[in-house]
Amino acid sequence: MTRPATTVEPTAGPDDARAALHRLRTEVAKAVVGQDAVVTGLVIALLCRGHVLLEGVPGVAKTLLIRTVAAALDLDSKRVQFTPDLMPGDVTGSLIFDPRTAAFTFREGPVFTNLLLADEINRTPPKTQSALLEVMEERQVSVEGARRPLPDPFIVAATQNPVEYEGTYPLPEAQLDRFLLKLTVPLPNRDEELGVLRAHHAGFDPRDLSAAGVRPVAGAADLAAAREAVGRVHVAEPVLGYIVDLCRATRVTPALEIGASPRGATGLLGTAKAWAWLAGRDHVTPDDVKATARPTLRHRLRLRPEVELEGVGVDAVLDTVLATVPTPR
């Protein structure tokens, strides 16, 4: 979906940027009910220039959520439906021979956008999944030795179904580690589901967000001001040590086969700073680290097979780690 030129006025400073990003929840709620936590996670990813893996059963509005966030932020977005026959060039772009000029020209793929929705990313083979590795890490596409940078901001929001495994390809560890956050999109509660039905009964069309009243409430200028402010958030040495201790604890926990990497530690630092800034603070507390630890680390950990057979989940192991690692005062 291509967005028109931005219509949101640049903000005067970080406080205005924070207020604009807080308004995002209200705007998204016009189309998506009861997903405030996921919206906050997407905002944190944009502030940290990180990518997001959304996991939820079919029908919980994962695709609609991404489209609505892009519309409310006045960002360009594109969607790719990942299928078994999708080729790398279908994602990144490819060289096309032009018979009129007898030369090859590069045709940009859908990654040349601000917010790329990689729908059902685990339905495509590893060859095509790997096409996103350079995109996600370097934010560029290399073709025939030429580097083509992607727009800024740029993040990948990928979705996958946690209950359907037929015809899917598990994401490799190297790619999972490149996602900043893994957010679970829950089923709505009864009141929220009633709200969904009332909206549809009143004529809500998820394909027409403008008719639902979704308008841009923030833009690229807000994100730029917010990122600069997040970069100035102070992190005391004991809190830095706490982040390192949490990640190192996952590497020696008997329940885990693979623990958090150093990239996971830097990711946790970034998300904690963004969380603290959104809360209106200029410093990170241990509670900020705890609040972002699960979505930042859960996809980087691998359970031992015998633990998984016992029905223990990654979040439960993370809860144990958070409860046992001493919290700085």
pLDDT tens digits, 60-116: 888 899 999 999 999 999 999 998 899 988 999 988 888 888 788 888 999 999 999
What pLDDT score was predicted for residue 280?
A: 94
- The total of other beta-carbon atoms located within 10 Å of residue 85's CB is 8
Instruction: Name the pTM for this structure.
Output: 0.88
Structure tokens at 10: 């640049």
pLDDT at 5 over 70: no
Burial class (CB in 10 A: 0-12, 13-18, 19+), 89: middle
Cα 291 to Cα 296: distance, rounded to the nearest angstrom = 10
Structure tokens at 265: 């530690």
Please list, in sequence order, all residues whose beta carbon lies within 8 angstroms of the beta carbon of residue 186, skipping any fewer than 6 positions away.
56, 60
Mean pLDDT for 283-305 is 95
The dotted CATH code for 14-226 is: 3.40.50.300
Burial class (CB in 10 A: 0-12, 13-18, 19+), 187: exposed
- The total of other beta-carbon atoms located within 10 Å of residue 262's CB is 10
283's enclosing H/E stretch is none
pLDDT at 6 over 60: no
Mean pLDDT for 323-329 is 93
What pLDDT score was predicted for residue 164?
A: 65
How far from chain centre, in Å, is Cα 250? 22
Q: Which residue has the tokens 């495509």?
A: 124
The secondary structure of residue 298, as a DSSP letter, is G
For residue 153, is the peptide bond before it cis, meaning its omega torsion is within 30 degrees of 0? yes
Hey, where are the domains in the chain? 14-226, 233-324
High-pLDDT (> 90) share of the chain, %? 54
Query: Domain 233-324: which topology?
Result: Helicase, Ruva Protein; domain 3 (1.10.8)
Cα 293 to Cα 271: distance, rounded to the nearest angstrom = 9
Cα 265 to Cα 45: distance, rounded to the nearest angstrom = 15
Average pLDDT of the chain? Answer: 89
Structure tokens at 35: 């997903």
